[in-house]
Structure 1
């Protein structure tokens, strides 16, 4: 489990309730400590990782495999929702967003799918994408591009990983009650016309992190055994409006 913020934490809690051993990876040690306290079981563990430094991922995955054995399931719920107009979107900014939101995701998948690192009977991987992969927004070029890249990569990775019995999919949440979304609400202003329009399009209402966690667990489970290379929107109807 990479990333244990709002959606990541909800996914970890749900998976733990179903008997999974949770191995958390995050740059926010406080968030991992809080999640461990919620899980309340000694078998769950946490590792620090700064996903903006992609080169640190391979040795970390090697250590996790050495400490705990092969990986059965993996959820990538790491992302930075940075917004910046085009005139300020210089290479360094764009690269940092891509490093965290996309390149680290692919690197995690590459390392997990190496021989001996995964359950060869069946392994399932889920990445948390975003509706930004489908909907354009001013000032969100880097973010939307990174999530679109994730979805495109998964379609290719699914074919390459299928012979290894690894399935890989993404979930695209709509507006969800997370710290990132609350930050966006503060940016727009909850009474602004722009924010009201966002909620009007998402006519089933704001998603709860558990709504996304349910989709994550479905894609990890045998119930989705013939689903791979896909993105499932959990968006309160937003894409249909």
Structure 2
């Protein structure tokens, strides 16, 4: 029997036409939520997600929005409320990332990474929180971060900076919003098999790379979706300012392993 933690709830997930966001939207819907699918440049994929939501028996709308614009995010929240009457849960998932050494990086892409990944998270946090405060109802904002927040991975400076910043942002917001019963939590997905990763690597490279980490494989969007729903669930009202790491052990010193040895 499907768990129905989000019956009657309205959920907005940014960057949800594919990857982790898509999996999260479908899982929220499976558990009873009405959902808003946010996309930037691919309406066909967004409509495919809407169709998947309808298959599991819930309602969805697709909203185009560039989260780097605060005005656009405000308008998306307003459209959510116009359609469904409220907003209970927001998930900041949209990202952009290029992979270049910072001293050679195209600065337009560098700034775009920060504008989408850091400022986009802030824009959703602010707009969603203001709506929840106005409703005078409890709410939850879940911010999708990454081990990049604490691992200085090379060729990803803008992304690393953005993820580190949004974690401090989320914890500050958790304190400031506690009087309103609005929880703010963080999920740190590790290396996950998504279309975003395939921007940088082939199937063979991803398979070989995943085999090296302790879990022996990449994570799946569905596994990350379960973590997101857990942190967002109204069953977990004692969790705020918390961080959930779901990374298959990639943040452990796996490179120091020397092979298996049977106990003597």
- Which stretches in structure 1 are left out of the alignment for 5+ residues? none
Tell me which residue corresponds to 1:227. 239
Picking from 65, 72, 88, the partner of 1:56 is: 72
- Alignment partner, residue 190 of structure 1: 205
The Cα of 1:49 is off from its aligned counterpart by: 0.6
Deviation at 1:119, TM superposition (A): 5.0
Q: Report the structure, 1 or 2, having the larger helix content.
A: 1
Does the alignment pair 1:213 with 2:225?
yes
Stretches of structure 2 that go unaligned for 5 or more consecutive residues are: 1-12, 254-264
* Partner Cα separation in structure 2 for residue 83 and residue 200 of structure 1: 21
Matched, 1:104 2:120: yes
Paired residues for 1:47-196 under 5 Å: 47-89=63-105, 91-114=107-130, 120-186=136-202, 190=205, 196=208
Distance 1:149 1:173 in 2: 16
Give 1:183 shift. 2.8
CA contact (8 A) 1:129 1:151 kept: yes
Secondary structure of the 2:215 match is coil
Higher relative contact order (CA 8 A, sep 6+): 1
How far apart, CA to CA, are the structure 1 residues paired with 2:26 and 2:134?
Answer: 22
Using the TM superposition, name which of 222-231 and 121-130 deviates more: 222-231
Offset at residue 91 of structure 1 (A): 4.6
Distance 1:129 1:230 in 2: 12
Structure label with greater radius of gyration: 2
CA distance in 2, matches of 1:165, 1:232: 20
Cα distance in 1 for residues equivalent to 2:134 and 2:36? 14
CA apart distance, 1:174: 1.0
Say if 2:33 and 2:58, in contact at 8 Å, map to a contact too. no
1:143 Cα deviation after fit: 0.8
How much is the aligned-residue C-alpha RMSD, in angstroms? 2.2
Query: Match for 2:212 among 188, 196, 200?
Result: 200
1:12 aligns with 2:28: no
In the TM superposition, what is the alpha-carbon distance from 1:150 to its structure 2 partner? 1.1
Pair 1:38-2:49 in alignment: no
Q: TM-score, length-normalised on structure 1?
A: 0.89
TM-score (norm 2): 0.82
Instruction: Give 1:46 shift.
Output: 1.1
